[in-house]
Amino acid sequence: MKFLFTILIVCAIMPWTYSQDTTIRKPNPIITLTHTDTILSTIPAKIKEIRAIKIENRLNIDGVLNEPEWALAPASPHFIQIEPEQGKSVHFETKIKVLYNKVYLYVGIIALDTLGKKAIMATDFIRDFDITRHDLVSLAFDGFNDHRNAMSFVTNAYGVQKDLLSFDDLYYDINWDGLWRVRTNRTDSGWTAEIAIPWQTLRYPKSKDSIQSWGFNVYRNRRLSNEISAFSEFPHAYSSLRMNYAGKLTNLQPPPPKPNIRFQPYFLTQYDHEQNIDSGISGENTYVKVGGDLKWAINTNTILDLTVNTDFAQADVDQQVNNTTQFSVFFPEKRQFFLENASLFGVSVQQTPDQAGGSMRLQPFNSRTIGLDSSGNPIPIIGGARLVHRSDKLNYGAIVMRQGNSGGYPFTDFFVGRLSENFGELNRIGLMTTIKNDALGSSVENTVDAFLRFGKANSINSIFTHSYSTQTGKSGFAGAVQYFNSTNQWKVWWTESLVTKNFNPEMGFVSRKDVIGTTPGIFYYYRGKSLPLKKYLLALEPGFTPELYVQASTGKLIEADYYIFPVWFNFKSGAYFGYGFIPTYQNLTTPFQPLGLTISVGEYRYTQQQIWFSSNPSKILNLQILYTWGPYYNGRLNSGDWKLQFAPIPYISLTGEFNRNRFSGVGELQTNSTVDLIVLQGRFALNPRIQLTAFYQKNTENSSNNYNIRFSWEYQPLSYIYLILNHQGFEPVNSKTVFADNAIFKINYLKQF
């Protein structure tokens, strides 16, 4: 520990930075619970409690709290308002009751509303739904009482589930899927929910005491008025997962934790058809595939996952991006095996949705390097394992995977090992190693990272990583240090990063090499009495986030972008409007080729303007716009992204997105061109467990036409039947039109022992 801490202090004073996304992304107040003029400076002296009652019978989970056992449970104390007026009495009461038996922990929710079911808002039935669009109630359990970690279970008024694991209210496994059940009922008095969580799903210590008390908090969002209330009050600056502000769930007698095994085999059959229209060559193939996953909770702190013949046929497809910047695009992971416990291995400097590091992204381990090629096409995975241990002091884990040979890719072995130690209230220091080995050679990357908090407002996050490849014999370095300050009215940061020319994270991601980045930023949050239209406005949030990049090998300034947003309004409805302008300096040392154009080496100075807009995201119609216009290198570029969602009822959600980049006089040939990307999505649900989704993309940049249609039926908790149709049509460089179609049937079954 002392050795690691010494390394951190030495590295933290060095002028290196890590930056992150391609555009400024302002925070949505509902997502981030942005600061107000009031904040709780200390944990409340009196901790709220709710008493759980033991019962012998099993309850019928139907959303109606009519079993006589519910009358035995005392209702929770009155909730308190978090948004929009911290600490005030709520306008809409919420009552929580807790029961348990030897198998389940039961939670009953009564969400009262004077408008009854007419006030309920929801736009879709997707699992892990967007919380900005729904009425919801969220439960958070701290079974170890360490005030750092939480298991969260969320439901909307239609029984759609969302669950996640939280670590220090800073890192989240949002795609963790726990085994639990919920049903809801909507009435003229509001809505009720009945939740059953198996003790095997929950995590808690083996205790000599027969009676346990856990950290516990609940928050509710009444979406029509955006009133957020909580069982135990927490500051606007944090979320309900900041467990040192939690209340207590008392009188629990859980069974002693025991090894918990979940086995999930699958059966898949697939038909493929490929055709080259110009040559007349076509091919067909049908095959059967079996495999599965096994999850073994060795104890409450340690989990082993095994996977054989791993398959991700049901994973969401990537949405294409037409990129006009010099930064590579980062695509998020969507495959379930790699999403679980991703927070332990996902070392980064990013702390907030503001993308405080700027346009650059450095991630030493990116799970998409396993089982996917550079275009996102699948490569067979023979199998692998993941071991994760988490406790209040020490966290460690490892992933071992073997990738098959396919499409010119040889057999490849992957390893990532991670160790981190918690100290103090919210501090952490860690090490990580990744190794990739195939017939061509090996690559190794070693990383040191740390997060230090000074009081409630100040923190330093740092990451330093070194790569080496036996195939090239070259090594490289990347590092970052970020200071971050967050208070009621201000959010300020300063990030310094360095990526050398030979840095090559073969199991990671870096958006730009041979660069030194300086990316400070500042946002001001104003909610004072002088705020205009206070009936509608939540906050005025102007910001300034400059980004400066120097070529590491020469020391020359190669890019400077000054993002200035004098106008940014967040509305109480969840809508927002922002206007900004971006003075830019570009010094191209090599030709740049955005979307088929070629821009010559040289210096360019120009200023673009930008508008961001979103209407109320929970309404039947929601419109989002990002529009940028003005000079671009030696010409002009008007770039717009329009997204419209139509959700007349929660059972139907239709979304259309249109992205257009119109170039005028750009590049060596002063080209005029227009590149369009059209995305259409539909979701049709009988209930949260039976759904049909469709996804269509047309991109004129590569003349592609793709669609994905998927039917899914969760016939019992976390057991699914899928029917999937995929189509890819495009014209490659040789101008020969190619079509590829496949039809997939897949069934999996989850058995918990």
* Averaged pLDDT, 542-557: 95
* Spatial CA neighbour of 90 closest among 244, 233, 247: 233
What pLDDT shows up at residue 62? 93
pTM of the model: 0.82
Burial 76-110 (b: 16+ CB within 10 A, else e): beebbbbbbebeeebebbbbbbbbbbeebbbbbbb
- Is the pLDDT at 735 greater than 60? The verdict is no
CATH class of 29-252: mainly beta
Q: What pLDDT, in 10s, does the model give residues 350-393?
A: 544 444 456 888 889 999 999 988 777 889 999 999 999 988 78
Q: Cβ(545)–Cβ(355) under 8 Å?
A: no
Minimum mean pLDDT range among 21-35, 68-82, 512-526, 671-685 = 21-35
Q: What pLDDT, in 10s, does the model give residues 171-192?
A: 788 878 888 999 999 999 999 9
* Averaged pLDDT, 680-692: 93
- Is the pLDDT at 32 greater than 60? The verdict is no
Distance CA 69, CA 63 (A): 14
* Averaged pLDDT, 103-111: 95
pLDDT band at 154 (very low <50, low <70, confident <90, very high): very high
**Dihedral, CA of residue 46, residue 50, residue 51 and residue 55, to nearest 10:** -170
565 or 242, greater pLDDT: 565
What pLDDT shows up at residue 350? 57
What pLDDT shows up at residue 278? 56
pLDDT band at 316 (very low <50, low <70, confident <90, very high): confident
Distance CA 714, CA 721 (A): 7
Listing DSSP states for 519-579 in one string gives EEEEEE-B-STT-SSTTTEEEE--EEEEEEEEETTT--EEEEEEEEEEEEEEETTS-EEEE
Distance CA 326, CA 360 (A): 10
What pLDDT shows up at residue 734? 54
pLDDT band at 747 (very low <50, low <70, confident <90, very high): very high
What pLDDT shows up at residue 29? 33
**SS3 of 71, please?**
helix
Q: What pLDDT, in 10s, does the model give residues 421-438?
A: 988 877 889 999 999 999
* Averaged pLDDT, 318-335: 86
The dihedral through the CA atoms of 7, 12, 18, 19 has a sign that is: positive
What pLDDT shows up at residue 15? 30
Minimum mean pLDDT range among 15-19, 233-237, 292-296, 498-502 = 15-19
For 619, counting Cβ atoms within 10 Å of its Cβ (0-12 exposed, 13-18 middle, 19+ buried), the class is middle
Task: Calculate the alpha carbon distances from 28 to 331, 338, 371 in Å.
Answer: 21, 27, 34
pLDDT band at 737 (very low <50, low <70, confident <90, very high): low
58 DSSP assignment:
P
What pLDDT shows up at residue 280? 57
What pLDDT shows up at residue 221? 93
Strand 247-252 with 212-222, pairing = antiparallel
What pLDDT shows up at residue 23? 32
The dihedral through the CA atoms of 330, 25, 28, 120 has a sign that is: negative
Q: What pLDDT, in 10s, does the model give residues 69-92?
A: 999 999 888 999 988 888 889 999
What pLDDT shows up at residue 543? 93
* Spatial CA neighbour of 694 closest among 676, 679, 704, 677: 679
Cβ-Cβ contacts under 8 Å for 397 (sequence gap 6 or more)? 341, 344, 345, 386, 387, 388, 389, 417, 418
Tokens of 523: 């946002």
What pLDDT shows up at residue 637? 97
Q: What pLDDT, in 10s, does the model give residues 576-622?
A: 999 999 999 999 999 999 998 999 999 999 999 999 999 999 899 99
* Spatial CA neighbour of 50 closest among 242, 188, 248: 248
Cβ-Cβ contacts under 8 Å for 569 (sequence gap 6 or more)? 537, 539, 540, 541, 576, 577, 578
Peptide bond connecting 505 to the previous residue in cis, omega within 30 degrees of 0: no
Distance CA 641, CA 679 (A): 11
345 DSSP assignment:
H
- Is the pLDDT at 10 greater than 50? The verdict is no
Region of 22 (left: φ > 0; alpha: ψ -120 to 50; beta: rest) is alpha
* Averaged pLDDT, 514-533: 88
Q: Cβ(660)–Cβ(650) under 8 Å?
A: no
Domain boundaries, the chain: 1-22+323-525, 29-252
The position carrying tokens 């008493």 is: 51
Q: What pLDDT, in 10s, does the model give residues 214-267?
A: 999 999 999 998 899 999 988 776 788 888 889 999 999 999 887 788 899 999
Distance CA 315, CA 285 (A): 22
306 or 6, greater pLDDT: 306
Tokens of 153: 């279970």
Distance CA 297, CA 205 (A): 13
Distance CA 387, CA 373 (A): 25
What pLDDT shows up at residue 425? 73
**Dihedral, CA of residue 142, residue 143, residue 145 and residue 149, to nearest 10:** -40
**Dihedral, CA of residue 555, residue 556, residue 559 and residue 560, to nearest 10:** 80
Distance CA 345, CA 364 (A): 9
What pLDDT shows up at residue 239? 82
Maximum pairwise Cα distance, the chain: 79
What pLDDT shows up at residue 349? 67
Distance CA 254, CA 273 (A): 54
Cβ-Cβ contacts under 8 Å for 400 (sequence gap 6 or more)? 384, 385, 386, 413, 414, 415
The dihedral through the CA atoms of 347, 348, 349, 350 has a sign that is: negative
What pLDDT shows up at residue 47? 87
